[in-house]
Amino acid sequence: MACSQGAFRLAGIRKSNCQDGQIRSNIVAVMSAPSRKILREAPSIGPQGSTSVVSCFDRDSPREEITAGLTAPHAFVSPKYLYDRLGSRLFEAITELPEYYPTRTERGILATHARAISRLAGSGVTLIDLGAGNCEKARSLFGVLRPAQYVAVDIATECLQDALRGLRRAFPEVEILSLAIDFSAGLALPDTVRREKRLYFYPGSSIGNFSPGAALALLSDIRGQCGVGGGLLIGVDLVKSTEILELAYDDPLGVTAAFNLNLLSHLNALIGSDFDIRDWQHRAQFNDELSRIEMHLEAKRDLTVTWVGGRRHFRCGERIHTENSYKYEQEAFHGLLKQAGFNNVRIWTDDLHWFAVCLASV
């Protein structure tokens, strides 16, 4: 579950090499017309070795971007705002649900084919984990891939830092870089990321959060940055019955509902809005024509939401579109990778053909 359009750009980079285990959070403001960008070093982590942490975000963009979405005729909010600290924890809980098959299915495929993946990708790679989350899937490949450098990229850094502490303890020989960037508007990596043997890792079918056109743009961007000997290891969710799909995004326990509703709390924190979660309900449905699961939040009564610089009246039953998750036919996704410029594509699936893991190289 992730990503869509956004206005963030990497404005510049400062790096922090932390050797003392202290939590530091230095803030450097970079003023650049027309918009003011803030470049921040996220809290560094220890205890040993050098861990570079780079963060970049645009202070003005969330408000403008969220306001534009909330005031659109069909209100929408980018799914990247699902992930504050609680949102990331709720997503982890979702992955434990029996109905949420993607995580355990992808994990199974990675475990079964880890040796083949490492044979094809080689060892000593620069492993670049896009939307790393709790880093668990990348971690499961450390043993076979033996990365020279691991680069965890995520918009939500708090949970990432927790995960990286554990990784550093377990793999002190691996250089670990944490990048707090939003790649929905383009993927710009700092020079501290090794150019050699780049293996981009994009699990969780997060590519499904992008429309096919935007997915092609992102895949082409990744292809352009792979360099000689580079590649992309990507997980994608496949088309299956509507019943299975809708249960995965609307579980009886209500964890996915909580995950979706929590976005409103995150918006309240980000833009000072006065959403009352009790006025909203979670909706998830498969749009057959567009081959995507859609998540929405539906107003339970007529209400008005206000925030600094904006307001919106919602009628009872009116919705805010919060996430798309496109489901692909295996051949169609293969075609998308080819279109993005990847020549060699190897695909593994589970026995039920519910999920696919693709290794694409240049």
Q: Which residues bind ligand SAM (CB under 6 A)?
A: 1-3, 80, 83, 88, 91, 103, 131-133, 137, 153-156, 182-184, 203-204, 206
**C-beta of 35 vs 50, nearer to ligand SAM:** 35
Cα(201)–Cα(32) distance, integer angstroms: 32
Nearest CB to ligand SAM, comparing residues 233 and 305: 233
Shortest Å distance, C-beta 94 to ligand SAM: 9
Q: Cβ of residue 318: shortest distance to ligand SAM, in angstroms? A: 25
Provide φ and ψ at 313, rounded to 5°.
-95, 130
Residues 6+ apart with CB under 8 A from 96: none
Q: How far is the CB of 184 from ligand SAM (least distance, A)?
A: 4
Quick one: 2 or 320, whose CB is closer to ligand SAM? 2
Q: How far is the CB of 306 from ligand SAM (least distance, A)?
A: 27
Residue 19 C-beta: closest distance to ligand SAM, Å: 27
- In the complex with ligand SAM, which residue's Cβ is closer, 295 or 305? 295
Neighbouring CB atoms inside 10 A of 192's CB total 15
CB of 311 to ligand SAM, least distance (A): 27
Q: How far apart are CA 107 and CA 112, in angstroms?
A: 9
Q: Is 298 exposed, middle or buried (0-12, 13-18, 19+ CB in 10 A)?
A: middle
Q: Please report, in angstroms and rounded to a whole number, the separation of the first and last CA atoms in the chain.
A: 27
Residue closer to ligand SAM, measured from CB, 1 or 257 = 1
Instruction: Compute and round to an integer the Cα radius of gyration of the chain.
Output: 20
- Kindly state the smallest distance separating residue 222's Cβ from ligand SAM, in Å: 13
Phi-psi region of 302 (alpha: psi -120 to 50; beta: other; left: phi over 0): beta
Least distance in angstroms from the C-beta of 101 to ligand SAM: 13
Q: List % helix, strand, coil for the chain (3-state, nearest 5).
A: 35, 25, 40
Q: Report in angstroms how near the CB of residue 25 gets to ligand SAM at its nearest.
A: 19
Of 67 and 157, the one with the shorter C-beta distance to ligand SAM is 157
CB 39 within 8 A of CB 28: yes
Question: Could you give the CA distance from residue 239 to residue 122 in angstroms, rounded to a whole number?
Answer: 31
- Nearer to ligand SAM by Cβ, of 155 and 226: the residue is 155
User: Which uninterrupted H or E stretch holds 149?
Assistant: strand 149-153
Nearest residue (CB) to ligand SAM, 84 versus 305: 84
In this complex, which beta carbon is closest to ligand SAM, that of residue 144 or of residue 188?
188
Q: Is the bond preceding residue 190 a cis peptide, omega within 30 degrees?
A: no
Q: At what angle do helices 157-170 and 85-94 cross, to 10 degrees?
A: 60
Q: Which is nearer to ligand SAM, 178 or 314 (CB)?
A: 178
Q: How far apart are CA 113 and CA 346, in angstroms?
A: 11
- Tell me the closest approach of the beta carbon of residue 183 to ligand SAM, in angstroms: 4
Complete DSSP assignment for 77-136: --GGGG-SHHHHHHHHHHTTSTT-HHHHHHHHHHHHTHHHHHHHH-SS-EEEEET-TT-H
